[in-house]
């Protein structure tokens, strides 16, 4: 190239680093503009084609690699990333629901998913109806000719009922209805959604995949090309992009995810078992415990449990007392989300989020982090003393 001015030299360079660099961490490729070789390549560029690049929003080597890895872990074929777990949920709804359609959601569904259903009902001419998470094969009676999608969540991430996913899938498929699973709790480790028959697996990567409490991301994984193509169109139209830096951080978490998950699981069962023996607690809602609603489904379909469970306090304690319990915890942070190294506790007003909630005492949800469970138990014990 002819000699350039200093200003242009600040922008253009002929230097290219040597080819052949290789290392274990995947490269972080950031881009809005993606460069084409020539006009013919630009004209033939297809945003849906994941063997080539068209624009940063539609993927870089970093995001394509994470998508491929997540699909492989879940036993799926295709994956699309979204900027949060919730946007992954809305991608599914906008891909498969249109005015006049019907969607079924479990009563224990992740609350922002319920809120999205309410919005679809109010403003989009879509009916969103709610079903008992333990309905099982009975879902058949709720399916209408206009039902297009059944959401499932296993278990519900506050009240912990484990649904009969196989029965729900069989009944839905008999009527040609797609089943989507929010598989965040099991992280694709303790339950692989396609093994039990679901069509669409959604994850909040914000939780175990990240493990760092430092990013938000979601994913939708599928096996069928036609199902994926509809999702990809919605993904494009909604403009869902993720930061390659965040995608890198999720990949950084993957090698340790199973070890972390198993450590959360062991510690959570230890803390939950200790709580179960306490007189202040009337119920422990942990899918691995026999008295958890849907425990038999967990036993049949899952290989582990992770760190999340809930307890119900005896109704003799007022909300002010159980609030004081939560406020007195020292090792447990007070905040939403889970899957990170830090233990968390959140009290829920179940009457506000469940139409049929029977329990009288306060529900407190625990996320057991990676601290020594003996220290967590000692912390809970001192907080219980404040009751």
Ligand X SMILES: *Cc1c(COP(=O)(O)O)cnc(C)c1O
- By the criterion CB under 6 A, which residues form the site for ligand X? 84-86, 110, 153, 157, 182, 184, 204, 206-207, 216, 218, 337
**Smallest distance from ligand X to CB 77, Å:** 22
**Smallest distance from ligand X to CB 196, Å:** 17
Burial category of 189 from C-beta neighbours within 10 Å (exposed 0-12, middle 13-18, buried 19 and up): buried
CA-nearest of 383, 368, 161 to 281 is 383
Structure tokens at 93: 């709804």
**Smallest distance from ligand X to CB 157, Å:** 4
**Smallest distance from ligand X to CB 381, Å:** 28
**Smallest distance from ligand X to CB 83, Å:** 8
Nearer to ligand X, 153 or 280 (CB): 153
**Smallest distance from ligand X to CB 328, Å:** 25
Q: Give the bridge partners for 130, in sequence order.
A: 105
For residues 42 and 53, give the distance between their C-alpha atoms in angstroms, rounded to a whole number.
10
Nearer to ligand X, 60 or 152 (CB): 152
Nearest residue to ligand X, by Cβ distance, number only:
85
Nearer to ligand X, 84 or 379 (CB): 84
**Smallest distance from ligand X to CB 209, Å:** 10
Residues near 137 by beta carbon (within 8 Å), at least 6 away in sequence:
164, 167, 168, 170, 171
Is 180 within 8 Å of 198 (Cβ atoms)?
yes
Tracing tokens 């009240």 back to the chain, one arrives at 159
Nearer to ligand X, 211 or 361 (CB): 211
Nearer to ligand X, 298 or 317 (CB): 298
**Smallest distance from ligand X to CB 206, Å:** 4
Report the SS3 class of residue 167. Answer: helix
Phi, psi of 365 (to 5 degrees): -100, 135
For residues 298 and 186, give the distance between their C-alpha atoms in angstroms, rounded to a whole number.
11
Report the SS3 class of residue 128. Answer: strand
**Smallest distance from ligand X to CB 182, Å:** 5
Nearer to ligand X, 206 or 222 (CB): 206
Tracing tokens 């979601």 back to the chain, one arrives at 218
- Calculate the CA 374 to chain-centre distance: 29
Crossing angle of the two packed helices 373-384 and 244-276, in degrees rounded to 10: 60
Nearer to ligand X, 85 or 287 (CB): 85
**Whole-Å CA distances, 66 to 56, 57, 154, 187, 214:** 15, 15, 24, 15, 17
Nearer to ligand X, 181 or 383 (CB): 181
Tracing tokens 């084609």 back to the chain, one arrives at 49
Instruction: Give the DSSP H/E element, type plus range, for residue 199.
Output: none
Nearer to ligand X, 62 or 113 (CB): 113
Burial category of 238 from C-beta neighbours within 10 Å (exposed 0-12, middle 13-18, buried 19 and up): middle
């Amino acid at each position: 190239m002819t000699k350039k001015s200093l200003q242009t030299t600040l922008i253009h360079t002929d230097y290219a680093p040597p080819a052949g660099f290789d290392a274990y961490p995947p490269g972080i490729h950031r881009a809005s503009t993606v460069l084409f070789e020539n006009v013919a390549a630009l004209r033939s560029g297809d945003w849906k084609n994941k063997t080539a690049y068209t624009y940063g929003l539609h993927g870089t080597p970093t995001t394509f690699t994470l998508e491929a890895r997540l699909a492989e872990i879940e036993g799926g074929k295709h994956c699309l990333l979204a900027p949060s777990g919730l946007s992954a949920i809305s991608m599914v709804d906008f891909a498969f629901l249109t005015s006049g359609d019907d969607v079924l959601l479990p009563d224990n569904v992740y609350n922002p998913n319920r809120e999205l259903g309410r919005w679809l009902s109010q403003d989009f001419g879509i009916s969103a109806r709610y079903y008992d998470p333990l309905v099982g094969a009975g879902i058949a009676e709720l399916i209408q000719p206009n039902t297009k999608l059944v959401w499932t969540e296993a278990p519900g991430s506050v009240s912990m009922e484990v649904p009969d996913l196989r029965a729900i899938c069989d009944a839905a498929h008999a009527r040609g209805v797609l089943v989507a699973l929010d598989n965040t709790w099991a992280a694709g480790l303790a339950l692989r959604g396609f093994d039990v028959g679901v069509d669409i697996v959604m994850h909040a990567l914000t939780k175990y995949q990240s493990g760092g409490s430092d990013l938000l991301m979601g994913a939708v994984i599928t096996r069928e090309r036609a199902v994926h193509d509809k999702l990809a169109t919605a993904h494009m139209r909604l403009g869902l992009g993720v930061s390659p830096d965040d995608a890198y951080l999720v990949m950084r978490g993957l090698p340790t995810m199973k070890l972390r998950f198993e450590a959360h699981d062991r510690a959570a069962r230890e803390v939950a078992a200790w709580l179960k023996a306490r007189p202040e607690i009337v119920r422990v809602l942990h899918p691995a415990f026999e008295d958890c609603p849907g425990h038999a489904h967990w036993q049949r379909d899952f290989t582990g449990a992770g760190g999340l469970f809930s307890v119900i306090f005896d109704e003799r304690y007022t909300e002010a007392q159980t609030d004081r319990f939560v406020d007195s915890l020292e090792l447990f942070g007070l905040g939403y989300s889970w899957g990170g190294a830090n233990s968390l506790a959140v009290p829920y007003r179940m009457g506000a989020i469940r139409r049929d909630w029977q329990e009288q005492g306060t529900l407190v949800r625990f996320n057991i982090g990676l601290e020594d469970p003996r220290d967590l138990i000692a912390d809970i014990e001192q907080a219980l003393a404040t009751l």
